[in-house]
Amino acid sequence: MLLWILLVLLLLCLWKLKAGQLKVVRSTTTPSFESSSILKVVHINVWSGSTYEFSKTKEQGWRYFGYRVFEFLSGIGYDIDYYPGDDKEHRYEILCKQLKELRPSVVTINEAMPCMSYTSRLANEIGFDHIAHVGVGGVSFPFFQFPNFAEGDAILAHPSLKLKPMGRSRLSGFVFSNNFSINTGDATQLLAGMVTVNAQQVIIGVTHWHAGVLEAPEVMKYIRNHLSPDEQQLGITSIAESTSMRVSEALQTVTLCKELVCAQGGKPLILCGDFNTTRTTPEFMILKQAGFQDYGCDQCTWDPKNRNVQLQFKHGVEASGSRNAVENKLYAVMGNEQLKLDHILTLGSCINFESSSTVLNSQAPPSDHYGIAATFQIQKKAGPIRE
């Protein structure tokens, strides 16, 4: 009897692992769309997860603890408000409304949480096909997840573009699939799909790089003028470590993207994401030197005037408990600067750039990041990329 029970459990685990493989989920509705050679891509970090420090009041602390214990025992996730003033459902409704008004061909998102259910809900709302994959998780096996946390990235496309999955690659961390991870810290990935525009197949990639202190002018000025010699060394070391992680992610991203393009016979590629870096950094230069063209607008996507950013600084810096005191000070300085952290880039030929702009940046923005939109004219024949 015990052997039969173990066999059934094994089969259930294998089924669950297979169910977690990358696949396209088709939309049940098809919104109106003028099929042409125009491809309009919108990217946004939707900030849908509860990724910010929980307020340490006694009442909220016990509420948090109780929910986490119940999550562990039941596997049911709860959307906990980590601090007052952030209405996530209202921000979601704003996102859906504004995306419909923008009428994009493709939408890429970061920080979908819970990854699969959030993406599915958004895709159904706007009538798009989608693929999604968990990027950050804890310890997860079939039928077991602790903590009940699964944040990730997704590609959504109009049904007429015939979205296909191309694969997912881990850049850092130990999240191996949607149902299997042994991860206790940050983790990053590259997710890729393919759409067909004007009889030309175009690869769409989305990534989300490590968040760390940048070597921004105001940050370096603060280090020089406000920190002791020992603190200065800590600050410089922190910047160097963060840069090193993103340089590694950049090198892997370049390799993976070129492998995708070459494997598909030189098909063009559009790469989107919250890269957590600006255009002047060593990691971004790696992309440009590899042949990526940056067609995004010059406007910031991280803005201290954004009310969602102000809310974060009102209630405490993001994940401050995981960093030392010097890093928290530098994050506060960096967070008060206007920064362009999100980018849309291209690799290969057959993509003619038409326009770009910052979007999803109204007086009631749906996220702590603004979105970016880029419009391309897609030609029919692809050429080789530069090695």
DSSP secondary structure letters along 335-370: HTS-B--EEEEEESSSEEEEEEEEES-SSS-SSSB-
Task: Put the strands of the sheet holding 188-197 in their side by side order.
Answer: 164-172, 188-197, 200-208, 269-274, 342-347, 293-294
Angle at 25 between CA 21 and CA 31, to 5 degrees: 160
- Given a contact cutoff of 8 angstroms between Cβ atoms, the answer to whether 308 and 47 are in contact is yes
Name all domains of the chain by residue range, CATH numbers in brackets.
35-378 (3.60.10.10)
Here the tokens at position 263 are 């494997």
**What does the pLDDT profile of the chain (387 residues) look like in tens digits?**
666 655 655 555 555 555 556 777 777 766 766 668 999 999 999 998 644 333 333 344 444 454 455 445 444 444 444 556 678 889 999 999 999 999 999 999 999 988 999 999 999 999 999 999 999 888 887 777 777 678 999 999 999 999 999 999 999 999 999 888 888 788 999 999 999 999 999 999 999 999 999 988 899 999 999 999 999 999 999 999 999 999 999 999 999 999 999 999 999 999 999 999 999 999 999 999 999 999 878 899 999 999 988 887 776 654 455 678 888 889 889 989 999 999 999 999 889 999 999 999 988 899 999 999 999 999 876 555 544
At 64 the pLDDT is 47
Look at the block and give the residue holding tokens 């990358």. 22
Other Cβ atoms less than 10 A from the Cβ of 385: the count is 19
